[in-house]
Each structure stands twice: as C-alpha cells, then as structure tokens.
Chain A
Amino acid sequence: MLPFKLPPQILRLVLVAMAIVGSYFVARSFLVPPSFGQYGWYRGAALAEIASREPVFAGKQSCDECHSDILHKLAKDAHKTLSCEGCHGVSREHGNNPDILPVKSTGSHCIRCHEANLARPTWLKQIVVKDHYGPKCTECHLPHQPTKSP
C-alpha cells in the first residue's frame, strides 16, 4: 500500500501512536460537556446553573408590595438609603408568608452604624455610646424617620 517499505518497528510505533491519539479524540468526544464552548472556553450551561440559585434577600421592592406606607415615610428622611433587610434581617420567608415575622431590631442595629469611629466619614451622625443618653434609642428617635421624635 505504501510507496516505500516502512521498517517493522516504525510501523508498529505508528500504529500505537495512532491508537493513542485516536482514543484521545474518542474520549474527548465523550468527556467534553455538551455546552462547552457555547460562549467561550467554558461550560455555557454553567451560566444558567449559577443563576438558578434561589435569592436569599428579598429586596426593597418586595417589601414595597405591602409596606409602601413605611417606605414612603422612610424615603422622606435621612434613612432613605437604608434597605429594610439591613435592620429587619432576611425577610424572604416573611414575604411569602406574613405570619412569619422578621427579626425585631434592637438598639445594637443603630450602634452598628452610629457608634463613633474615627474611620467613619464625618457626614455620618455618630455617638459615643457611653456618653450618649439612654438605654433605648427608640425613646427619642424614630428609626424610619430619624430626624423626628416619637
């Protein structure tokens, strides 16, 4: 078949090499995931898989569905940038079933942002806790309208 005579040892090696390379390509066609290369050098299906995780935080928009009155008040005052779940905790379950109540926030939530700290920007109102009046923040400050008193 061949125009020249291939020495036996070379021929044998060529066969072995062909078998190895061939089995590589056969293995490759089986083992490469189907969506590989859809967008680039990765599994395209991974995008949908990563996106399919269920969100944990519900987001301000879903609070707005029932509590638009509070959000309305909030939007007019200094706490307008705050997210509901920042203080009330993850409320996805509460959104699905209003009987499950979100976490009751306490004074430590206020302290988390408003305790005096040198590294905090000066535009933020800060207190030195031990010099500041009161065991309870809500006695003097309304959380949703912080510039107003109860």
Chain B
Amino acid sequence: MINEVTNIVVETLPQIQGYVYPNESNVHPVWSVLIVIYPYITGLVAGAFIMASLVRVFNVKALAPVYRMSMLTALAFLLCATLPLLCHLGHPERNYEVMMTPHMTSPMAIFGFVYAWYLMAVLLLELWFDFRQDFVKWSKTTPGFQGLIYRVLTLGVTDVSEQSVRLDMKMEWILSIVGIPSAFLLHGYVGFIFGSIKANPWWGNVLMPIMFILSAIVSGIALCVFNYIVLTWIRRKTVNMRCLDAMAMFLFYALLVDAVIETLDVLHRGFAAEEGFAVLQTMIREKLFYTLNIGQVGIGTLVPLLMLGALQLLRHRVPEAVRRTMIFCSGAMILFGVLMMRWNVVMGGQFFSKSFRGVMSYKMEFSGQEGWLLGAAIMCLPFIILTVLVKLFLSESEQLQPCEHLPENSSKT
C-alpha cells in the first residue's frame, strides 16, 4: 500500500507481483500523468460550460454574475485540452493525421471532431455573440494593441442596433441548447475512450461515459466556485452570496448524483464479479487504496457532500464568512477528488496485467515526456490563459455583476 503513495510522489523501482505479459513488464506505464490530466481538463471544460448553460437555458438568474467567467474558464481549459494528448504521442508531428484520416471506429479520432465542433461551433460562437456588442464598444474606446484585438474580434461587423442585439441573444440561447448535448458528447467521448476497451475490465464498462460526464459537471462547477472566489479576492470585491449559494446548491446535487452512479458501478461490478474480478479487488484494497478510498471517495466525495449538505439544511444559520470558506474548501476538495478519480481510472487500468494474474507498480518520471513536470506545466497553462482572457474580456467595472441584457433575454424566452 505504501508503495503506491511513494510511487506517486517519488520514483521507486518497478515492482511486479504475480505474472504479467512480458510486454507489460515495462518500467514506465504506456499512459501516464498526461493521460490523467487530459480527461481532467476536458471534464472541467464540459462542467464549466454546463454551469454557464444553467444561466442561459434554465434561466437561473442567481448564477448570472458568473456566466461570463464560467464561459471564459471553459474556453481557457478547452484551448489546452488536446495539449496533454499531443505531448504524450510518440510522433507528435504526425498529429494532423487524426484530422485528415480519422478512423471512424476509434473514439480518439472522433474526439478530434467533437473537440473541433465544440470549440468552434459552440463555445467560441456563443462567446462571440455574447461579447459582440462589447467588442464594438471597446474597439472604439480602447487604444493601441488591445483595441486592435477587439477590432479584429468584431470580425468587421459593427451593427449593434437593437434588432441585431436581439438576434445575438436568440443565437446565444440556441447555441446553449446545442451546447449542452455537445458538452455531454465531448466528455462522454472521453469516457468512451476508456469505456470502449473491452480487454480491460477496469475500463470496459457501459457506465464509464456517464460517470465521466457526471464527474465532469461536478468538477466544472467546483472550478467555477474556486475561480469566482479567487477572482473576487484578487480584485478585492465582495462575493455575491446569492450566486455562491446557488453554485453550492448545484454542486451538491451534481455531486450527489455522481456519487450515486459511481456507487452503482461499484455494486454492479461486485455483483457481476466477472473474469478478472479478483485482480480488481486487489487494486481497490492495495494498489489504489489511498487515491481511491481516501482521495476520491473520502476527500473528493464524502466530506464535500457532508459540508455542502449541511449548508443546504442550515444555510441561514451559518455566518457568511464561514459559509464562504466551507464552499471554497468543498470546491477545492472536489477538484482534488476528481483529479484522483481520473488518476484511478487511467492508472488503475494499467496497474494490473491483462492476464489478470499479476499487478505492477510503475516508475513515475519527474521530468521527461510523460513526467510530472510537464503535467504540472500543462495544468498551469489554462490558468495563465484564463488570466489573460479575464484581463481582456472581464473588465473590473462591470465584471461579476449580472449581465445587463439578461433580463431582456429571460422575458423573451
């Protein structure tokens, strides 16, 4: 058990217990930290987008202050979503082949198109319609390079008449509706990359895409909570408690559903107890004890469930400052827990032999192509992009206030 912890933190010698196929007795796992990060980032995108959709589609007015921030968060993470995949390739220079000759039966190839669709047809479009009139406004008032950026982003359309703004709003609403299934598709497909591997009983599971989508929603909302509190703290603004409470409520319900589905998965596996079940038991008891039982279930699910659940019951009796801290802590814990979930899925599937006769430990590199360093760098990148995006598009004066044109929209829809 202790090996697993040391293996995550420092490099230890590879260890094999039982029999593994000779090709599996490698020092390094085939998929490593980068492939853990990849579904994590994609999940954050899908989750943040779905949270933003709550405002547009389901008209949750309390969440309006974080609408733009969640959309920008989704964009920042989406721009980095393919990076870990690209970096882990043996031949990154051949990546264009995935788009040029996509093999239609491969989940990874279809992901390329789902990604492109989601980025260009959903997220960028919706953001463009949302920001268009601001672009026009800012392009007239901002001088220099920044002004030029705004001017380019208007795509040369300067029409901000009432009629065209109304059209923008309508388009946004349509795009949000298209966006929800697209977000599900995006992350469902990531789940399917693992769920489609029938050779691996840890992965090959019909519930896998569903579990990925649910945990994605949870992690996305948690990220928005995290970003919102950090952003208000940096800008020394007061947190809009109505908005934060609403986020906490959605976070609680999403986490609850996620926990139920994951429990269902565990129960089903235990009941069916198919071939290779013995080796899966060893995984839960030994190889993944800390990351699964403590990280994913304890820190990532049970504690936040209790905290957020308590807040749902006793919202008005808990002072604001305590509530804020509790919500922030649950958000951070959920973010950690979902990362652990990705680790457990990706690495868990490689900790045992496909002969089901043995388990292996791997040497986790610190530097190098699949090392911790690159993983951490890729994980930091979306936050850097988000900072730039927030600087460019979320000006201090109007940010984190309800969008002024939202009531119009809601009255119409």
Binding site for B on A (CB under 8 A): 7-10, 12-13, 16, 20, 24, 27-28, 31-33, 36, 41
By the criterion CB–CB under 8 Å, are A9 and B100 in contact? no
Which residues from B are CB-within-8-Å of A41?
101, 103-104
Q: A7-B167, A13-B125 known; A24 and B157 CB under 8 Å?
A: no
Q: Which residue of A lies closest to B165 (CB)?
A: A9
Partner of A8, one of B97, B100, B128, B157: B157
B262 within 8 A of A: no
B120 within 8 A of A: yes
Interface centre among B101, B155, B167 (most CB of A within 10 A): B101
B99 within 8 A of A: yes
Q: A24-B99, A27-B100 known; A9 and B125 CB under 8 Å?
A: no
B132 within 8 A of A: yes
Q: Which residue of A lies closest to B160 (CB)?
A: A9
Q: For the complex, give the distance between the alpha carbons of A104 and B322 in Å.
A: 84
Q: A7-B167, A9-B164, A16-B155 known; A31 and B96 CB under 8 Å?
A: yes
Which 8 pairs from chain A and chain B are nearest by CB?
A31-B100, A9-B157, A12-B155, A8-B157, A8-B159, A12-B157, A32-B100, A28-B100
By the criterion CB–CB under 8 Å, are A9 and B99 in contact? no
Interface of B is mostly: helix
B168 within 8 A of A: yes
- A-contact 0/1 string along B152-184, CB 8 Å cutoff: 000111010000100110010000000000000
Partner of B120, one of A8, A9, A20, A36: A20
Q: For the complex, give the distance between the alpha carbons of A10 and B100 in Å.
A: 28
Q: A20-B120, A31-B96 known; A9 and B159 CB under 8 Å?
A: yes
Q: For the complex, give the distance between the alpha carbons of A13 and B128 in Å.
A: 10
Q: For the complex, give the distance between the alpha carbons of A118 and B265 in Å.
A: 44
Which residues from B are CB-within-8-Å of A31?
96-97, 100
Q: For the complex, give the distance between the alpha carbons of A10 and B163 in Å.
A: 13
Which residues from B are CB-within-8-Å of A28?
100
Partner of A36, one of B101, B128, B132, B171: B101
Q: A16-B155, A20-B120, A31-B96 known; A9 and B103 CB under 8 Å?
A: no
By the criterion CB–CB under 8 Å, are A8 and B125 in contact? no
| Distance to closest chain A CB from B155 (angstroms) | 5
| Distance to closest chain A CB from B12 (angstroms) | 33
* A to B CB contacts below 8 Å, 18 in the list: A7-B159, A7-B167, A8-B159, A9-B132, A9-B159, A9-B168, A10-B171, A12-B156, A16-B155, A20-B120, A24-B99, A27-B96, A27-B100, A31-B96, A31-B97, A31-B100, A32-B100, A41-B101
Q: A13-B125, A16-B155 known; A8 and B103 CB under 8 Å?
A: no
Which residues from A are CB-within-8-Å of B155?
9, 12-13, 16
Interface centre among B100, B156, B164 (most CB of A within 10 A): B100
By the criterion CB–CB under 8 Å, are B100 and A7 in contact? no
Q: For the complex, give the distance between the alpha carbons of A27 and B103 in Å.
A: 17
Which residues from A are CB-within-8-Å of B167?
7, 9-10
Q: For the complex, give the distance between the alpha carbons of A101 and B102 in Å.
A: 51
Interface centre among A7, A16, A24, A32 (most CB of B within 10 A): A7
Which residues from B are CB-within-8-Å of A20?
120
B122-169 interface (Cβ within 8 A of A):
125, 128-129, 132, 155-157, 159, 164, 167-168
Which residues from A are CB-within-8-Å of B96?
27, 31
Which residues from A are CB-within-8-Å of B104?
41
Q: A12-B156, A31-B96 known; A7 and B164 CB under 8 Å?
A: yes
By the criterion CB–CB under 8 Å, are A8 and B101 in contact? no
| Distance to closest chain A CB from B192 (angstroms) | 19
Q: Which residue of B lies closest to A27 (CB)?
A: B100
12 further A-B pairs in the complex, CB-CB below 8 A; given A7-B159, A9-B157, A9-B167? A7-B167, A12-B155, A13-B155, A16-B155, A20-B120, A24-B99, A27-B100, A28-B100, A31-B96, A31-B100, A32-B100, A36-B101
Q: For the complex, give the distance between the alpha carbons of A10 and B129 in Å.
A: 10
| Distance to closest chain B CB from A30 (angstroms) | 9
Q: For the complex, give the distance between the alpha carbons of A36 and B103 in Å.
A: 12
Q: Which residue of A lies closest to B96 (CB)?
A: A31
Q: Which residue of B lies closest to A24 (CB)?
A: B99
Q: For the complex, give the distance between the alpha carbons of A7 and B167 in Å.
A: 9
